[in-house]
Structure formats: C-alpha cells, structure tokens
Amino acid sequence: MNDVLAAVLEALAVLTYVALNAFVLIWLERKIAGHIQRRIGPLRVGGPGGSLQSLADGIKLFSKEDFRPGGRDGIIWWLAPLVSMTPAVMVFIAIPFGQHLIIHDMNIGLIYITSITSFGLLGVFMAGWGSNNKYSLLGAMRAGAQLFSYEIPAILSTIGVVLAAGSLSLETIVAKQSAHWFLFPQILGFIVFYVAILAETNRTPFDLAEAESELVGGYFTEYSGIRWAMFPFAEYGTLFTGCALATTLFLGGWHGPLFLPGWVWFLIKTYILVFIAMWIRWTLPRVRIDQLMDLGWKFLIPLSLINILGTGAYIALVR
C-alpha cells in the first residue's frame, strides 16, 4: 500500500513539475524572442511581464474545438500526442536534481534515459502518419531521419563520461565530479551532446520537422486545441531534460562553488543551457536535410569517437 501511495505521489510531483516547467519555458522563450527582436513579448496577462500568459493560453487551448481531420488514421492520430508526451515526462524520474533528490536512482540511469527519449520519435511519426496530410507526412519523415541520426552521436558522446566516471548511475556520475567537472576533459563530448540535443528537440537550426516556412506546421499541422498543446509540451519537456542531462553529465550536476543548496545550482546550470538553446534558435537559419545528415554522420559521430578514443587512452595510460 505504501509503495502505491509513494508511486502516486511521485507521479504527481513529476507531472506538476513538468507542467510548471513547460509553462515557464514557453513564457521564457516568448520573452527572449521578443527582446531579441526588439519587442516585448507577452505583456498583458498576469503579473510582471505577462507571466501568466502560458496559463491563459492553456485555458484557451482546453476550450477550443476538438478538430479532427477527415481521413485520419483514427487510433494512431489519437494516440500520437500521448505517445510523444509520455517519454518527456518519464525521463524526469531518473534525473538527479540534487544529492538524494532523485525519484529513482537506477544503476543504469543513463541507458534508461536514452532509451526512453527515443520513444518520442514514435509519437512524432504516428502524428505524421495518422494525420493524412502531406505536410505532416513530410515532417514526420524528416523527424525520423533526423532523430535517428542524432540519437547516435548523443549516446556516443556520453560514453566518454561513463568511462571517466566508471558508472552508468547518474548520481554516481555527479558525485564523481565533486573535484572537477567533466566539461573540460570532455569538451568535445559536451559540444556533440549539446548539438545533438538541439537536433533531437527539433529546434532551429535543426527544426526541419516543423519547418514553418516549408511545411506549415510539420508533423502537427493537423492538431489543434489541447492535442496540439501536448507537442510543444513534450518539446519543452525534452529540451529541459536534455539540458538537465548535459548539466548532470558535464557540468557537475548539483555541485557549485557557493553554499547554495545543490538543487539551486542544478537548476541554474540547466536554465542557462536552456537559455543558450533559445538564443541559438532566434539567431540562426535552418539547415537543409542533407546538410543535417552530413553534420550528424560525417562530423558529430567522428568527433564523439575521437572523444571516446582520447578518454580511453588517457584512462589506460594514467591508471
């Protein structure tokens, strides 16, 4: 009985945090975009700087007509938003926000996260296939190719860290970084990982799957209302978890020079990474699909292999 209660409480905590986090990130993104473009962004709803705008949008999306495209593939179309949102939520379980501030410390935490995030692709693909829309289909095809080829460098780039830490458990990896972060010995790995995160979360310069100027809305063209909202929700969730993972693996997790609580350090680092991702999004143009593939296969994968090689050689020689 206690186990069930704990599980429910954990699930609730995660869901609340994910929802709050998505709201904050969406608001933040619009604010940052606004200020970069000499605008103000959200302004009117709620407290300072229109901070309740996302909530208002959420309410609006809930009350919208549930539009369904004709000729859709019923169950696939219906399931797709859920399938793409679930992994975004599930990943939160394994992220160490602070020392012992982790819902489940698995000894295979890293593998759990990488395997769960790959599921997101399935939702995207289902959305594209089920919508019976050519734009959606093209978007889904692009997403498929893109996520598949960026999953590999993302995983390869973490191997250096695993080698250095000697563990797959995220808590152990962070604990190993108490003296120095893995950022500098693993700078190649960090760069590859960060670029791969950008690609996996479909953000400019890699937002080919939803390329507005080409594919209108990409794979979620045919969704509206709350079903549509689940896709950005998942996207921002993945962005956050990606950055959180980068913090955990390379930036020393909860370790920080000042005497702030560990989870504050963790959040600061993560949100800085998120901010950089947003900054990049509002600066760069989009790459083309073949250039994206080139970058992934011909550049990032060799780089991460070099990284593994270097780390391995170092460990073999020094120890």
- Contact between residue 123 and residue 84 where contact means Cβ atoms under 8 Å apart: yes
Q: Report if residue 285 touches other proteins, rule: CB under 8 A.
A: yes
Binding mask 141-160 for other proteins (x = CB under 8 A): xx------------------
Q: Which is nearer to other proteins, 52 or 168 (CB)?
A: 52
Binding mask 29-48 for other proteins (x = CB under 8 A): ---xxxxxxxxx--x-----
In the complex, minimum distance from the CB of residue 44 to other proteins, in angstroms, rounded to a whole number: 9
Distances (CA, A) of 82 to 30, 54, 89, 130, 168: 25, 20, 11, 13, 29
Q: Report if residue 306 touches other proteins, rule: CB under 8 A.
A: no
CA distance 171 to 155: 18
The window from 13-21, 68-76, 92-100, 136-144 that contacts other proteins (CB under 8 A) reads: 136-144
Q: Is the peptide bond before 96 cis (omega within 30 degrees of 0)?
A: no
98 beta partners: 101
Kindly provide the b/e burial profile for residues 31-61, where b requires at least 16 CB atoms within 10 angstroms of the residue's own CB. bbebeeeeeebbeeeeeebbbbbbeebbeeb
Q: Report if residue 204 touches other proteins, rule: CB under 8 A.
A: yes
- Scan residues 208-227 and list those touching other proteins (CB under 8 A): 208, 211-214, 216
The window from 79-87, 88-96, 182-190, 201-209 that contacts other proteins (CB under 8 A) reads: 201-209
Q: Which is nearer to other proteins, 171 or 235 (CB)?
A: 235
Q: Which is nearer to other proteins, 38 or 319 (CB)?
A: 38
Interaction site with other proteins (CB under 8 A): 32-40, 43, 134-135, 138, 141-142, 204-205, 207-208, 211-214, 216, 279-280, 282-291
